[in-house]
Structure 1
C-alpha cells in the first residue's frame, strides 16, 4: 500500500504522514440518519464489518483510554479494564471524549488525538493485513496495517471485543 498524501487532511493523516506510515484514505458520503456510523462505513466502502474498527473511549480511575474494536462487536468493559491494568472501566461521556480527542463522536480517530491516551486494539485486527479506522471525520476512514496503528498510537493488543 502506497503512502498517500492527505486529501482534506486531518490530525490523523498528518500524524500518519509525520510518522512515515503507509495508509490509504477511504471516503464515502456519510448519511446523518445512519443508525451505526461503523456499519455504515463498512457497507459504503464495500468492506466486511470485522475489518472496519470503531474507536471508543472509556473512563477509568486513571482517566480516559481508547478501545478499538470491530464495528460489528461490542466493547467488553471488564476485558479492557484488565488490559489497561485498572479495576473497572465505563463508557466515557461523549462530550468529554470530543473535548479530549479533538474529534466529534462518529468521527473519533484513534490517531492524532489532542492528548495521547492509553490505547488497546482488539486482537482480531491481527488477522488482517489492513484494517480501517476513522480518519477524523464522519465519512473519512484510513486503511493501514494493524501493527502501524499500534505503533502510531503507542497501543497494545488484547481481546476486548465480544460478539452478540
Structure 2
C-alpha cells in the first residue's frame, strides 16, 4: 500500500503542529455523513459536516455541525453578524472552496471564510471531520479545529 497523499487540510494541520489522526475508508462517491458514521460504527453526534453559505450582502460563511442535525439559517446568520445566509448550491461548492461535495472541510479552503462550529463539539475530546476528500476523515480536538480555521463556537443548530 502506498503512502497517503496529503490534502490541504492535512498539510495545514501538520504545518500548525496540531495533532490529528487520519482514517480512510472505501467510498467511490458521495454518501451522506449519517450513513458514513453508521457504516464505520461512529457516533453521529461526534461526526461533523461542513456547510457553506452565502450572505445576502455577499461573502461566504462556513458552518460545521453534527452530521445528523440541520443548520438554523437565522442562528447561523446571527453567529457571523450577517443579515441573512442561504446554503450555497452544490454546483458552486468546488469553485468557492476547492473541495467537492462529501470531501469538504473548513480547513484549507481556497480562502479562509468566517467559520462557526456548533458548540456541541465542545462535548468531545475529539471530533470527526472530512479529511478533504471522499473516503478520508480527520479526528482532532475541537479547539485544534478552531485554531486551524480561525473559527469560533456558536449555537447554530435547528431545533429538533
What TM-score results when the alignment is normalised by the length of structure 1? 0.90
User: Residue 39 of structure 1 corresponds to which residue in structure 2?
Assistant: 34
- Take 1:33 and 1:100, find their aligned partners in 2: how far apart are those partners? 18
**Is the contact between residue 29 and residue 134 of structure 2 (CA under 8 Å) also seen in structure 1?**
no
Q: 1:124 aligns with which of 107, 114, 120?
A: 120
Cα distance between partner residues in 2 of 1:13 and 1:30: 19
Query: Is 1:8 the equivalent of 2:5?
Result: yes
CA distance in 2 between counterparts of 1:56 and 1:117 reads 12
The alignment covers a number of residue pairs equal to 157
Residue by residue over 1:97-130, the C-alpha shift from the partner in whole angstroms, topping out at 9 and shown as x without a partner, is 2112110011101111111100000000000000
Post-superposition shift, 1:13?
0.3
**Superposed counterparts of 1:127-138, under 5 Å:** 127-138=123-134
Distance, in Å, in 2 between the alignment partners of 1:69 and 1:33 is 18
Q: Any gaps of 5 or more consecutive residues in structure 1?
A: 1-5
Alignment TM-score, normalising by the size of structure 2: 0.93
Q: Distance in 2 between matches of 1:55 and 1:64?
A: 13
